Structure 1
Amino acid sequence: MIVEQYFEDYEIGFTRRTMGRTITETDIVLHAGQTGDFFPHHMDAEWCATQDFKQRVAHGTLILSVAVGMTATTINPHAMSYGYDKVRFVKPVFINDTITVEAKIVDKRDHPKRATHGIVSELVTVTKQTGETVLACEHIYLVAKKPV
């Protein structure tokens, strides 16, 4: 779906929430193959059984990637991702945990060098079925201002 929104149209406090997505063993294996991260924390069930969590942990970067994809439900031709700040892997996600994502607009400001654009920041919070926050970050957008 295409939604045309200029910088002026964004409102601080606007919040979007996703449906759930269950993280599977296949997700972890595919992510390991794509990134080359085959650390035993993600891949070795026997070794993990001897560690604190007693089971394999999903890659933090997997959860970040899936969460970003879950929020990418519309195309705005006037905005683009400008990056992510303050990414924190707060709690582990295990195989068969279901995550949901909340994205809340928390700031908007003029771009320091481009008078035709602004910066919009949203706080992205990922929780699992227990209600625990597992990941948090700031997603930054570069957004065109309305033409004058």
Structure 2
Amino acid sequence: MKYDEIKLGQIYEVKRKITAHMVETFAEITGDKNPVHLDEEYASKTIFKKRIAHGILSVGLISAVLGMEFPGPGTIYMKQDTKFLKPIYIDEEITIKITVKEKIEAKSRLLLTTQIFNENGDIAVDGEALVLFKN
């Protein structure tokens, strides 16, 4: 994809399934072994009632979409603002939605709305990213 092919208001959506393996691998890599992510018995006694994915894991999935799918290879992440609104559970299928909010032509930058919806269609993660895309 080329910068001039990207249109204001353009939307890109993709589904992903959050697996226990993803969460456990993320915990190993980062050292964030909070039992709410890894221990079903512990998580059952929390407000979530079962294990949840790390919030930053979900942001990592947004990063993967930006760098590999839309806008795609060559994308440089410059800024991400994120609000975590709902938990994302293990084995939940999520929808990642990227919307082009603004094009900054002079600097080949894009301001993107970055959202993740849970299986119920509720916004679980809401944010905005600024990326450099010179392709």
* TM-score bracket for this pair, using the shorter chain length: 0.7 to 0.9
Partner of residue 81, structure 2:
86
Q: Which moved more, 1:44-53 or 1:34-43?
A: 44-53
Query: 2:11 aligned with 1:15, yes or no?
Result: yes
CA contact 2:65–2:72 (8 Å) conserved in 1:
no
Partner of residue 126, structure 2:
136
Distance across 1 between alignment mates of 2:90 and 2:117: 14
CA contact 2:53–2:88 (8 Å) conserved in 1:
yes
State how many pairs are aligned.
134
Q: Which runs of 5+ in 1 are unaligned?
A: 112-116
Structure exhibiting the larger radius of gyration computed from Cα positions: 1
Whichever residue aligns with residue 26 of structure 2, its letter is: H
Distance across 2 between alignment mates of 1:135 and 1:26: 21
CA contact 1:84–1:137 (8 Å) conserved in 2:
no
Distance across 1 between alignment mates of 2:27 and 2:127: 22
Which contiguous aligned blocks of 4+ residues in structure 1 show a shift greater than 3 angstroms? 74-77
CA RMSD of aligned residues (A): 2.2
Partner of residue 55, structure 1:
50
TM-score normalised to structure 2 length = 0.85
CA contact 1:81–1:139 (8 Å) conserved in 2:
no
Could you say which structure has the higher helix fraction? 2
Distance across 2 between alignment mates of 1:64 and 1:95: 16
Distance across 2 between alignment mates of 1:44 and 1:74: 34
Residue identity (%): 24
TM-score normalised to structure 1 length = 0.79
Q: Which runs of 5+ in 2 are unaligned?
A: none
Structure 1 residues 102-137: Cα deviation after superposition (integer angstroms, max 9, x where no partner)? 1110012255xxxxx232111011111110111122
